[in-house]
Amino acid sequence: MKHIVKAACLAACSSALVAGVSVSTASADEWPTGDVRLVVPYAPGGTTDVLSRRVADLLQDELDANVVVENRPGAGSTVATGRLARGGRDVDHTILMASPGHTIGAAIYPDLAYDPVDDFVFLQNLIDIPNVMVVPADSPYDNVIEFVEAAREQNMTFSHSGVGSSIHMSGELFKTLTETNLTAVPFAGSGAALPALLGGDVDVSFENMPTVLSHIRSGDLKALAVTSAERSPHLPDVPTLTEVGEYSLDQFVTTAWFGLIAHESFPQEAQDAMHEALAGVMQREEFLSFAEQLGAEPGQVSGESFQQFIAQEVERWQEVAEQAGISQ
């Protein structure tokens, strides 16, 4: 009997550990009136998740309320986003960390039950991570023009971290704009894709900057260009794709953006509170150094201009997905 009691106590303790304890510190009269739920539309561990937890931590101070992170992965972020769009309980205390999956997902997943632009309010673009066009160290190509000329003559391959990732879509966009013979080679995540690039199994990739920055610095990979509008302070010698000035590459500006969105019925009062809190978060030293570590730049747009940016992105990726013949 003693053993049973012991075991029961143990079970109770472990479930208490699982459930966690949440105590609200918010005052009753102004937003937030309870815990704020930050939905991460991906599994624990990715960039979106890590960023969300860092932001939640800082947002907690700014809002003086609990910010609870909840992972809801599935179908390239569209499951969680669809759930948010449907609204329901707590919708005025729920925010979601959106990323390129939000706009690309709208282009490649059929029958989405929501509109990626009109069904949401767009709070703040937090960070932008540029992609880098990288080739193996022993690649014979030293600049974009040499590469494009060669890839028009012969078949070449680019690696990516999964269908519909910003890395994949950047490759497809490059292929369309430059009219080159590039074949996409899918891998299960950047971790699995990198060895193929380092070992020379594939010819090029459009990886997120933080993934390849150390390899560029150590000389294991050669950076031909960055995909952002301006040169990156991390790689000041590497030109942007728009600087190439040929093959309509001036249209090639794309970053992996991360930002917070909420349901369209998110109250104005809450939007104002969030704007203020997020502006505070983005000035914090912890946030800036974290962004620096990720090789990211603090986000530029918020509110309506953020929404306009999303609308343009959705349109652009829809075109690329159609031309590449991806899904739908």
Partner 1 sequence: MDMFSEVLHLFLSLDNILAIALGVVIGVVVGSIPGLTATMAVALALPFTFTMEPVAAILLLVGIYKGGMYGGSITAILIRTPGSPASACTLLDGYPLAQQGYAKKALKTALYSSVIADFISNIALIFFAAYLAKIALNFGAPEFFWLICFSLTIIISLASGSMIKGLLAALMGILLSLVGLDEVYGSQRLTFGNYNLMDSISFIPLLIGLFAIPEIIEFYRKKVVPHIKAKASGVGMTLAEFKRCLKPIVRGSLFGVLIGAIPGTGATAAAFISYSDARRRSPNRDNFGKGEVEGVAAAEAGNNGVAGATMIPLLSLGIPGDVITAIILGAFMVHGLTPGPIMFQENLTLIYALFVGIMCSSLVLLVVGNGAIKYFSLIADIPKSILFPIVLMFCVYGAYAVNNDTFDVWLMLGFGVLGYIFNRAAIPAAPFLIGFILGPMFEDNLRRSLLIGHGDMSIFVRGPITWFFIALTLGSILLALYRYFSTRRQSSRPGKAQETP
Site of interaction with partner 1 (CB under 8 A): 3-4, 6-7, 10-11, 14, 17-18, 43-46, 49-50, 53-54, 56-57, 70-76, 78-79, 82, 108-109, 111, 155, 157, 162-164, 183-189, 191-192, 194-196, 198-199, 201-202, 210, 213-215, 217-218, 220, 286, 290, 293-294, 325-327
Token code pair at residue 311: 């609308």
CB nearer partner 1, residue 57 or residue 250: 57
Shortest distance (Å) from residue 292 CB to partner 1: 9
Token code pair at residue 88: 């329901």
CB nearer partner 1, residue 152 or residue 308: 152
* Phi and psi at residue 247, to the nearest 5°: 50, 40
Shortest distance (Å) from residue 265 CB to partner 1: 22
CB nearer partner 1, residue 251 or residue 328: 328
Token code pair at residue 292: 């620096």
- Tabulate helix, strand, coil % of the chain (nearest 5): 45, 20, 35
CB nearer partner 1, residue 109 or residue 122: 109
Closest CA to 116 of 199, 219, 41: 41
Shortest distance (Å) from residue 58 CB to partner 1: 10
CB nearer partner 1, residue 157 or residue 178: 157
- For residues 154 and 159, give the distance between their C-alpha atoms in angstroms, rounded to a whole number: 17
CB nearer partner 1, residue 304 or residue 322: 322
Shortest distance (Å) from residue 305 CB to partner 1: 30
| Residue 65 DSSP SS3 | coil
Packing angle, helices 47-63 and 285-293, rounded to 10: 170
CB nearer partner 1, residue 58 or residue 261: 58
CB nearer partner 1, residue 32 or residue 76: 76
Shortest distance (Å) from residue 252 CB to partner 1: 22
Shortest distance (Å) from residue 99 CB to partner 1: 16
Shortest distance (Å) from residue 260 CB to partner 1: 17
Closest CA to 200 of 221, 231, 225: 221
H-state helical runs in the chain: 2-19, 47-63, 78-86, 100-108, 144-153, 166-178, 190-198, 209-217, 241-244, 268-283, 285-293, 303-324
Name the region of 74 (left: φ>0; alpha: ψ -120 to 50; beta: rest): left
* HSE (side-chain half, CA atoms, 13 Å) at 233: 8
Tell me which amino acid residue 219 is: G
Shortest distance (Å) from residue 199 CB to partner 1: 5
- For residues 202 and 116, give the distance between their C-alpha atoms in angstroms, rounded to a whole number: 34
Say which residues have a Cβ less than 8 Å from residue 19's Cβ, sequence separation at least 6: none
Say which residues have a Cβ less than 8 Å from residue 160's Cβ, sequence separation at least 6: 167, 168, 171, 184, 185, 186, 187, 193, 205, 206
CB nearer partner 1, residue 32 or residue 82: 82
Shortest distance (Å) from residue 53 CB to partner 1: 5
